[in-house]
Amino acid sequence: MFKSSFQFLKKDKAAVKILIMQLLFTFIEALPLVCILSSAMGLGIYLLGYNFLLSFGQADLIYSLQVIIITQELGVLLVAFIVTARSATAIATELASIVVTHQVESYISIGINPIHHLAVPRFLGVTLSVVFLNLYFSLCGLFGPMLISHIIGQVSASDYLAGLLKTLSLRIIGVSILKSVLFGMTISLVATYYGFSVELASTEIPVAGLRAVSKSISGIIIIDIVIIALGLIFP
């Protein structure tokens, strides 16, 4: 799959179009939902957390709380679940339909590698989309509350930005990007696997979609637990 990912970009222009369409569906069309969800989460964490921590004289810890929850932990998980719900089902059912209607044999008969043409653009599209959506989620979730805090007079925009950038480390950003890459790869690989695993019955198509979603969520949770455990072992 990884070797094919680089080969198809040079040889298969039709697959590049599929990649663009996958990015359009998985990334672009999910931006409004991600923006609303991340902004609401960031604002809720900030407003509730700031007042709570202020009562203990530890208001500056709100930035660490935001960064850990939004960027490192919960944000990337929510993005992965959104992509799983929207794209894993779509990819698995679409590929299953192609298999059931014998289109794979048609591709092979005219010399087109079905992995290059069908699987690789979806693999790259979903993986890149999870990474981009994760970065977008962090931007909206972290910098969205800055405007509200400035309007209500809690913290000035400059102080908010300074506290946030002081807390946001390269390690946290790196862990977040690593998770998004692994989550995206997991979603795309599981969805394509179950899409191609059907045989000839049309009743297998919805089953493939359900299995893709459930197995993707399980894989995401396992990967997240492993990364958290490694972070505790190697702080």
127-173, pLDDT tens digit by residue? 999 999 999 999 999 988 888 877 876 778 888 888 888 888 899 99
Task: Give pLDDT, residue 129.
Answer: 95
pLDDT band at 2 (very low <50, low <70, confident <90, very high): low
Of 128, 125, 104, the C-alpha closest to 195 is 104
CB 215, CB 223: distance < 8 Å? no
> What's residue 49's pLDDT?
86
The pLDDT, as a whole number, for residue 8 is 56
CB neighbours (10 Å) of residue 139?
16
Task: Say what the pTM is.
Answer: 0.91
**pLDDT band per the 50, 70, 90 thresholds, residue 1:** low
Give strand ranges (E) for 150-189.
Answer: none
- The residues, any chain, with a CB within 8 Å of residue 146's CB and separated by 6 or more, are 157, 160, 161, 164
